[in-house]
Amino acid sequence: MIITGILFFRLNLGNYFLSLLNVLIFSIAIASLSIFIGSVLKKEDLIIGVSVLLANIFAALGGCWWPSEIVPQTFMTIGMISPAYWAMDAFHQVIFFNKGLADILVNFIVLLGFTVIFTLLAIKFFKIKE
């Protein structure tokens, strides 16, 4: 999708390396969350429902639906519980303000922190059925 956006729609990602690194780190965080959800919940329908619900909640809180700068400070603070907030903030900093790695390093550290937490929780709850 990113390649299509670049080739056909002139997608501007600012510093492409940092933007793609952001995509990778965010993807790893969300993958670990998905494994955690699958470890806790056992019914496929429930897993799908909870995943869709969380994806929408995290997207709204994280600034995927509207810029987080236009919401009240309380809502923005609550949004920080969403991995999407940290990824969108990193995109915003890189694309619109031409910031570098030092400026978004905290975002990457928080996303990797989410990854560690979700992975440890997944390991705790994961059970193999025989």
Q: Indicate the domain borders of the chain.
A: 22-125
The region, left, alpha or beta by phi > 0 then psi within -120 to 50, assigned to residue 67 is beta
User: pLDDT, tens digit, for every residue of 41-98?
Assistant: 989 999 999 999 999 999 999 999 988 888 899 989 999 999 999 999 999 999 999 9
Given a cut of 80, is residue 9 above it in pLDDT?
Answer: yes
Work out the average pLDDT over 25-34: 97
pTM of structure? 0.90
Does residue 128 carry a pLDDT above 80?
Answer: no
What's the mean pLDDT in 124-128? 85
* Average pLDDT across the chain, whole number: 93
Over residues 101-108, mean pLDDT: 98
Residue 4, CA distances (Å) to 9, 10, 78 in order: 7, 9, 34
Angle at alpha carbon of residue 59, lines to 56 and 62, rounded to 5°: 145
